[in-house]
């Protein structure tokens, strides 16, 4: 059970940073509280008393999103449901709606933020793979005197390990910026114990862009979650596909390369076989998700040989 001495609801970033800098040791930031509250239960943290909870959900500067120079800047208060309900975000970030539909449920997605998901730094967070595929960067802010000072960190550098990030005391994630991937097809594969309301055992995000004849991979982005302490971008695989003629055989060969990336300590064999089929399926689903392009495979799935 969670109890606290103080619950703050600041409405400006300045106030939030002041409160956060002054918060006694053991205090916590609150976004959607969907990780925080279940954590404070029997079997996990149990009885938790927190000096100050600083709730960011009313901070105006963290609301909404903007686009500029090929990037989308999502305020830290952006919730998962927005990736489904906001048509511009669906177009700009094609892998996010697929990830979102696998994420928790409609109700939790109304509360849960992408920033909170990244800050929680679970090795099986669904947010990290698609953000990594979109070359995500986190904007972090802290106070120096009265001045707000910002720095940026790539998502791949942000997570240090399970539950650990580069966030310094007094620092708040203010935004997550992502490549705008309009015109790409996106997909997300996930396996867990159930279909709804389930944490991934492994997951995979993909973004694919072909030339307009649907014959050649112009760009491919792939990343895996749940297979190691940090999200993995499949760089080797991506370059093996980029610029190549699209064929099932090629996709299958590429997918097999992914097995080598599995570094998680538990259920390695299982995760390896899952990852191979995930990568294949992720690429094919992302190809099918591209709007206005009909993909032209060089071979058929039956004739493809690995």
Partner 1 sequence: MSELWVELEINNRKIARKTQAHKRLLDFLRDDLHLTGSKEGCGAGECGTCSVFVDGRLVKSCLMPVAKASGCKVETIEGLAAPGQLTTIQQAFHKTGASQCGYCIPGMVMAATSALRQNPQAGIEEIKERLGGNICRCTGYTKIFEAVELARAVIAGDQSEDVLAEEPVGKSYIGHNQRRIDAPARLSGRLKYAADIRMTDMLQMQVLRSPHAHARIVSIDTSEAEAMAGVAGVITSEDVPGTDGFGVFVHDQPVMARGKVRHVGEAVAAVAAEDLITARQALAKINVVYEELPGVFDPEEAMQPGAVVLHDYAADNIVKHIPLRKGDVAAGFAEADIILEENFSTQQVEHAYLEPEAGIAYVDADDVVVVISPSQNITHHRQMLSRILDRPINKVRCIMSPVGGGFGGKEDMLYQGMLALAAMKTHRPVQLVFTREESIVASAKRHPSRVRYKMGLKRNGQILAIRFSMISDGGAYGMSSEGVMRKAAILSCGPYEVANLCVDTTAVYTNNTPSGAFRTFGGMQAQFATESMMDIAAEALEIDPFEIRRVNMMLPGSKTHTQQELNSASLDRVLEAAEAASRWETGAPHMRGATRSDLGGADTRAPCTLGARFAGGRPGADGKERVW
Of these, 17, 23, 31, 84, which contacts ligand FAD (CB under 6 A)? 31
Residue 223 contacts residue 204 (beta carbons within 8 Å): yes
Look at residue 292 and give the partner it binds from ligand FAD, partner 1, none, a contact being a CB closer than 5 to 8 Å depending on partner kind: partner 1
Look at residue 126 and give the partner it binds from partner 1, ligand FAD, none, a contact being a CB closer than 5 to 8 Å depending on partner kind: ligand FAD
Contact status: 4 vs partner 1 (CB under 8 A):
yes
Interior angle at CA 73, CA 131 and CA 65, nearest 5 = 115
Q: In the complex, what is the shortest distance from the CB of residue 88 to ligand FAD, in angstroms, rounded to a whole number? A: 21
Count of chain residues binding partner 1 (CB under 8 A): 46
d(CA 146, CA 17): 10
Of these, 2, 108, 216, 259, which contacts ligand FAD (CB under 6 A)? 108
Look at residue 53 and give the partner it binds from partner 1, ligand FAD, none, a contact being a CB closer than 5 to 8 Å depending on partner kind: partner 1
Contact status: 56 vs partner 1 (CB under 8 A):
no
String of contacts with partner 1 for each residue 257-276, x by CB under 8 A: --------------------
Residue 208 φ/ψ, nearest 5 degrees: -135, 140
Token pair 């609301």 is found at 63
Nearer to ligand FAD, 34 or 177 (CB): 34
Residue 222 contacts residue 238 (beta carbons within 8 Å): yes
Contact status: 289 vs partner 1 (CB under 8 A):
yes
Of these, 8, 19, 27, 34, which contacts ligand FAD (CB under 6 A)? 34
Contact status: 227 vs ligand FAD (CB under 6 A):
no
Contact status: 35 vs ligand FAD (CB under 6 A):
yes
Q: Dihedral sign for Cα 188, 98, 123, 233, please.
A: positive
d(CA 287, CA 306): 20
Contact status: 145 vs partner 1 (CB under 8 A):
no
Part of the chain binding ligand FAD (CB under 6 A), chosen from 33-41, 86-94, 257-265, 290-298:
33-41
Binding site for ligand FAD (CB under 6 A): 28-36, 38, 56, 76, 103-104, 108, 111-113, 115-117, 119-120, 125-127, 167, 172-173, 197, 199
């Amino acid at each position: 059970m969670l109890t606290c001495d103080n619950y703050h609801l600041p409405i400006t970033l300045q106030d939030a940073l002041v409160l956060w800098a002054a918060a006694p040791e053991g205090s916590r930031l609150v976004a959607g509280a969907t990780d925080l509250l279940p954590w404070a239960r029997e079997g996990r943290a149990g009885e938790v008393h927190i000096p100050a909870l600083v709730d960011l959900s009313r901070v105006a500067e963290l609301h909404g999103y903007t686009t500029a120079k090929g990037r989308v800047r999502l305020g830290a208060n952006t919730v998962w449901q927005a990736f489904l309900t906001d048509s511009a975000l669906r177009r700009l970030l094609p892998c996010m709606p697929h990830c979102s539909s696998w994420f928790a449920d409609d109700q939790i997605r109304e509360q849960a933020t992408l920033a909170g998901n990244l800050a929680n730094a679970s090795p099986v967070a669904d947010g990290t793979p698609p953000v990594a595929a979109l070359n995500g960067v986190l904007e972090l802010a802290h106070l120096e005197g009265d001045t707000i000072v910002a720095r940026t960190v790539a998502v791949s550098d942000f997570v240090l390990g399970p539950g650990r990030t580069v966030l310094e005391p007094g620092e708040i994630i203010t935004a997550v910026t992502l490549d705008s991937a309009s015109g790409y097809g996106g997909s997300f594969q996930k396996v867990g114990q159930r279909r709804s309301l389930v944490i991934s055992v492994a997951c995979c995000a993909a973004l694919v862009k072909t030339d307009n004849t649907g014959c050649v991979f112009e760009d491919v982005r792939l990343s895996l979650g749940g297979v190691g302490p940090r999200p993995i971008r499949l760089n080797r695989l991506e370059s093996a596909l980029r610029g190549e003629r699209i064929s099932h055989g090629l996709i299958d060969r590429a997918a097999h390369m992914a097995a080598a990336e599995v570094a998680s300590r538990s259920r390695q064999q299982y995760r390896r076989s899952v990852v191979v089929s995930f990568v294949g399926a992720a690429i094919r689903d992302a190809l099918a998700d591209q709007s206005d392009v009909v993909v032209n495979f060089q071979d058929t799935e039956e004739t493809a040989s690995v």
